[in-house]
Amino acid sequence: MQQPYRPEPLTDYNGDQQVEALGSALSAVAACLGESYPLRIGGTDVWTDERIVSRQPCDPDVIIGSVSKADAALAERAIAAAHAAFPMWASVAPEERAAVLFKAAALLRQRKHIYNAWLMVEAGKTRSEADADTAEAIDFLEYYGRQMLELTRRGEEQLVHIDGELNELTYIPLGVGVVISPWNFPLAIMAGMTTAALVTGNTVVLKPASATPVIAYHFVKLLEEAGLPAGAVQYVPGSGADIGDLLVQHPLVRFVSFTGSKEVGVRMSRLVAQVAPGQHWLKRFIGELGGKDAIIVLPDADLDAAAKAIVASAFGYSGQKCSACSRAILHKDCYDEVLERCVQLANRLQVGSALDAATQVGPVINEAAYRKILKYFDIAKQEGRIAAGGGAAPGRGYLLQPTIVEGVNPEAVIMQEEVFGPLLAVCKADDAEHALKIANDTEFGLTGSIFTRDRKAIAKAKRDFHVGNLYINRKCTGAVVGAHPFGGFNMSGTDSKAGGPDYLLLFTQPKLIAELL
Catalytic residue set: 288
The neighbouring-strand residues paired with 65 are 35, 54
> What's CA 175's distance to the chain center, in Å?
23
- Alpha helices per DSSP H over 57-206: 72-90, 94-110, 112-123, 127-157, 188-199
Is the CB of residue 413 less than 8 Å from the CB of residue 383? yes
Are 193 and 257 spatial neighbours (Cβ–Cβ below 8 Å)? yes
Q: Residue 386: CB partners within 8 Å, gap ≥ 6?
A: 380, 403, 404, 405
How far, in Å, CA of 134 to CA of 422, rounded? 23
Phi-psi region of 288 (alpha: psi -120 to 50; beta: other; left: phi over 0): beta
Residue 115 identity:
Y
Cβ atoms within 10 Å of 12's Cβ, excluding its own = 11
Do 137 and 187 form a contact (C-beta atoms < 8 A)? yes
Q: In this structure, are residues 370 and 398 in contact, taking their beta carbons and an 8 Å threshold?
A: yes
Q: What is the CA radius of gyration of the chain?
A: 23
* Helix 127-157 × helix 112-123 angle, to 10°: 120
Which residues pair with residue 257 across a beta bridge? 179, 286
Residue 82 burial by CB count (10 A; 0-12/13-18/19+): exposed, middle or buried?
buried
Provide DSSP, 406-457. ES--TTSHHHHS---SSEEEEEEESSHHHHHHHHH-SSEESEEEEE-S-HHH
C-alpha distances out from residue 456 to 144, 156, 391, 461, 463, Å? 37, 42, 41, 9, 11
